Amino acid sequence: MVERTLSIVKPDGVRKNVIGDVIGRFEKNGLKVLALKMRHLSKKEAEGFYAVHRQRPFFASLTEFMSGGPVVLMVLSGEDAIRKVRELMGATDPAKAAPGTIRKDLAGSIEENIVHGSDGPDTAAFEIPYFFNTLEIHG
């Protein structure tokens, strides 16, 4: 089934200058970029985006990190896009990620792990319109 998903190159990925590498890995694996933009999230925007984690102990540090520099936001489309993006990203902890995944190859820690991807259809349905309106999505 063709799906849409949201992915974010996080501030550490932007800082490390690996935006093109991340997007290239998605494209080489059959995913199409339907929308793309760079933003510097405010703390409030990051808190709204990660509201599902508000009660978790890492919420404050996560939202501080995500508002600490520019991010690259993208809508990706393709066959089983959500699963495919999750697979390409690898485990949240780069030390536990499979060889050849984005996080294993590029990330430095569980806190700064380069990339975000929607974890399911309901999440994607919330995350995509959080950052993109329909006129910004092409395809």
Catalytic residues: 116
For the beta carbon of residue 19, count every other beta carbon within 10 angstroms.
Answer: 17
One-letter amino acid for residue 113 of the chain: N
SS3 content of the chain, % helix, strand, coil (to 5): 45, 20, 30
**Cβ–Cβ under 8 Å, residues 21 and 106:** yes
Residue type, 16: K
Q: Are 63 and 48 in contact (CB under 8 A)?
A: no
